[in-house]
Structure 1
């Protein structure tokens, strides 16, 4: 297949095609963070417990973990635009069902199951379509910059927006807000053209889907159990590792017989992509870990409410927005590796500033410098990390790598919350919040190391390959 028309990369076309994709990422990131500030309101209104609402949040994470890779693979069979629209509809129905929920069971069905399934269906097409529609480094960086900016804003500003809606109207209105945004996205998505025709003849690996889904669910459950029961955590992680080992054994067996599997092992033979995935995982781990730690500190120690907490987080939101939207200009002047390295250095420095300044000042303004620096650092590197991973493979493997990429990022988010939560709950030191931040900074050093060994100039992968056989990923010279 030939590359998309050059007009596809003009600024007008960028606005027309990127708006629904960026809004889709925003609403999914928003949904993942805003429910935390509504837990008390929901538990009182539905006559349930805080733990019950937390179960709903956990199930949402598990559904996404189980279905993100299969969701990416389905785009090859049914088409990227069709999967995007289907995911949006399922998500919208879930949001409306959640808004009308008479009890916890219906909330779990709407928010945890339907919104989780919808997210797993619509997020992989966002990244695949962006990679396929924008073919040169500058336009792709600009597009991913907008998407990651909206995603970062959704995650960082979710508590503020959710808190404002909940305080002004009620928690149900927050789900109505999600449904309204979904309607807008569906209307805008009609302009999107799928660059690749779907291939209904492509087989779907059901056994591989079950093995990977069970394995990932067990791993995420183990991570989330870290702050409750250490032995249960270890047992779940070990069991999850067994299922994932069986999954990779199944994949290798299918590949040896020439059959298509859910996830090609060739994805893991690309050194550039592997390092990029490590940076992605670390970025989201640090982002969600810092958000959880700071939000807990503000509400538990400082006694701030959800709106006050959200206002303080505005500094991080502005940082993410500023650096993400500058992605295209920065990509023209600097190598992707340089941007990722700089982003990690800024983020780690921001954590240090936040920990030192807040500890010595009772003023809420003391949070601003550190959070702004963290936001600038994360926004600076989120886009090039995604771009490096997606650009490492030709179009026939975009479904697989997109699902894997999003799964790795979601895993990082879960680990970040679990690591921070475990340290805070354990209370091994009187300075538990500082200990959590220092730990997250240490984890950031892992991402910094991975970024340091990225190739300075990743090899270019052709825009298209034959559908006959397994496409060959770009080699790392």
Structure 2
């Protein structure tokens, strides 16, 4: 078991890594006008850059989780940090949208896919007691949620005070700090260089996810192209699962074991994770774009308005441990979705009735509170449903599902919004996000009342 002081030293770099990756996914939302003017591009061009970043993370998270078994968790963590840092520096110096996509969307996306699975695997392996693990996940998910919610405020402050390029310099500096702090981390399991890696599975899974999300992005341009890409993506993913089953039957190790999907509790937990991040990133992109393009607010004004969501998420994240001790995880997830859906309803009702920018505050506060309540229980349910030898696979799958939700949130809500930047398009985007939140509530209601049984949790610690 990790002692408290040692645990704090290990937990800090892991939590900061989740913070900066979540921050990167949302801070560009308040730079839309500045980036599009500086790089001579459009709102849709910036949306594509944001979505591709989130999509690269989702597409490569499963292979990234699998590589930790072969090369070691700490080694993959450091490789991801370095790759991310190079991407941040390149983004800061980008002369055009193409270089920004290379630095931010590709290199930062690849770096995140390498470094995030080790965060969750190391947390599961190093914090072996149920209470300490729940606390550790609470800190990591809390900082992750705060990074996503505070991204617009921090990004707005930096953009207003310096420039949008300085926000990427900020990311590079944080990454350098994490590299120094991570010297204290020790990998509890030795790497297995002989562990096979399913290259075909990695290619198929990534291609399938990319096609599906690109299909959503094509919705406002060509309906037939959208349909073709989504159907093509679904077929490639079906091919991936068929290949995985064939490998498993032949006694070989696939990229992702189909047996992971035989756990009903984990499956429902994964759905709630996907929806939570879809709602968070979808809301962030839509509200930030609307404030800047329709209302004409600058980066700092937009970021300040988002402070309500940050404060709500921070408050509920800080209370996560106490709430987990008093309420079942299923109850917390359901309560989170109810608060979030109510927040979207309040957001729509108040904003429609007044031009006052503070009309956004009550709704964003409720959304932040709801998301903070449920982020940690969803992760804990999924991670604790599997034993130690499957932590690499389930961590990669869990993060892939969450980041797929992030990319779909930006793609779905953003596509509806940029197809017609008006009050009607804003409302349509938010209503779509609210409807998806209700689907998350239904999935949460189907979770067993005692999700992540104790036996499973203890099994993961052995």
State TM-score, norm by structure 1: 0.91
**Matching residue of 2:363:** 370
Offset of 1:464 from its aligned partner?
5.5
CA contact under 8 A between 2:265 and 2:448: conserved in structure 1? yes
Relative to its length, the structure with more helix (as a share) is 2
Deviates more, 1:80-89 or 1:133-142: 133-142
CA 49–446 in structure 1, closer or farther in 2 if over 3 Å, else same: closer
Contact 1:37/1:163 (CA < 8 Å) preserved in 2?
yes
Q: Quickly say closer, same or farther: Cα 1:251–1:399, change in 2 above 3 A.
A: same
| 1:379 pairs with 2:372 | yes
Query: Which residue does 2:65 correspond to in 1?
Result: 72
Does the C-alpha gap of structure 1 residues 223 and 71 become closer, same or farther in structure 2, counting only changes over 3 Å?
same
- Please tell me whether residue 213 in structure 1 is matched to residue 206 in structure 2: yes
Indicate the residue corresponding to 1:38 in structure 2.
31
Give the Å deviation of 1:353: 1.8
Q: Name 1:182's counterpart in structure 2.
A: 175
Mean Cα deviation higher: 101-110 or 245-254: 101-110
Q: Aligned residue for 1:299?
A: 292
Deviations 1:349-377, CA, capped at 9 Å, x for gaps: 11122222222233222222211111011
Q: 1:103 and 1:184 mapped to 2: Cα distance?
A: 28
Give distance in 2, aligned partners of 1:158 and 1:466. 34
Distance in 2, Cα, partners of 1:29 & 1:295: 16
Q: CA deviation at 1:63?
A: 2.2
Q: Which whole-Å CA distance do the structure 2 matches of 1:462 and 1:337 have between them?
A: 16
**8 A contact 1:138–1:331 mirrored in 2:** no
Counterpart in the other structure of 1:461: 456
Which of residues 266, 275, 279 in structure 1 aligns to 2:259? 266
**Is contact 1:145-1:326 (8 Å) kept?**
no
User: Displacement of 1:465 after TM fit?
Assistant: 7.8
SS at match of 1:125: helix
Q: 1:316 matched to which residue of 2?
A: 309
CA separation in 1, counterparts of 2:216 and 2:438?
21
* Matching residue within 387, 400, 407 for 1:394: 387
1:315 touches 1:372 (CA, 8 Å); kept in 2? yes
Instruction: Work out whether residues 227 and 418 of structure 1, in 8 Å CA contact, stay in contact via their aligned partners in 2.
Output: no
Q: Contact 1:68 / 1:407 at 8 angstroms: preserved in 2?
A: yes
- The equivalent of 1:229 in structure 2 is 222
**Map 1:407-446 → 2, pairs under 5 A:** 407-426=400-419, 431-446=424-439
Distance across 2 between alignment mates of 1:106 and 1:336: 43
Q: CA RMSD in A?
A: 2.2
Q: Larger deviation: 177-186 or 452-461?
A: 452-461
**In the alignment, what sits opposite 1:359?**
352
Aligned-pair CA distance for 1:128: 1.1
1:45-60 pair list within 5 angstroms: 45-46=38-39, 52-60=45-53
Deviation at 1:266, TM superposition (A): 0.8
Q: CA deviation at 1:49?
A: 5.5
Q: 1:475 maps to what in 2?
A: none
Closer, same or farther: CA 226–24 of 1 in aligned 2, 3 Å: same
Counterpart CA distance in 2 for 1:433 and 1:91 is 33
**SS of equivalent to 1:393:** coil
Among candidates 231, 234, 237, match of residue 238 of structure 1 = 231
Query: Residue 151 of structure 1 corresponds to which residue in structure 2?
Result: 144
Q: In the aligned structure 2, how far is the partner of 1:427 from the partner of 1:46?
A: 22
Partner SS for 1:461: helix
- Give the direction of change, closer, same or farther, for the CA distance of 1:56–1:437 in structure 2 (3 Å limit): closer
Given that 1:81 and 1:193 are in contact with CA atoms closer than 8 Å, whether structure 2 keeps it comes out as yes
Deviation of 1:328 after TM superposition, in Å, equals 1.3
Partner residue in 2 for 1:474: none
1:30-86 CA deviation, whole Å, 9 max, x = no partner?
Answer: 111222333443444445565555444343233223211100100111111111011
Distance apart, 1:325 and its partner CA: 1.9
Q: TM-score, normalised by structure 2?
A: 0.94
Quickly say closer, same or farther: Cα 1:53–1:355, change in 2 above 3 A: closer
Matched, 1:116 2:109: yes
Distance 1:390 1:217, change over 3 A: same
Matched, 1:202 2:191: no
Match of 2:336 among 335, 343, 347: 343
Moved more, 39-48 or 175-184: 39-48
The DSSP-based 3-state class of the residue aligned with 1:431 is helix
Match of 2:325 in 1: 332
1:26 aligns with 2:22: no
Shift of 1:405: 0.9
C-alpha contact (below 8 Å) 1:224/1:414 kept by paired residues: no
Q: Matches of 1:51 and 1:312 in 2, distance apart?
A: 23
Q: How many residues align?
A: 460
| Contact 1:396/1:464 (8 A) holds in 2 | no
Q: Is 1:276 aligned to residue 269 of structure 2?
A: yes
Is the 1:226–1:418 contact (alpha carbons within 8 Å) kept by the matching residues of 2?
no
**Secondary structure of 1:262 counterpart:** coil
Unaligned runs of 5+ in 2: none
**Alignment correspondent of 1:288:** 281
In the TM superposition, 1:101-112 aligns within 5 A as: 101-112=94-105
Q: For residues 168 and 60 of structure 2, what CA distance do their matches in structure 1 show?
A: 22
Q: Which residue of 2 aligns with 1:13?
A: 6
Question: How many angstroms apart in 2 are the aligned matches of 1:423 and 1:50?
Answer: 13
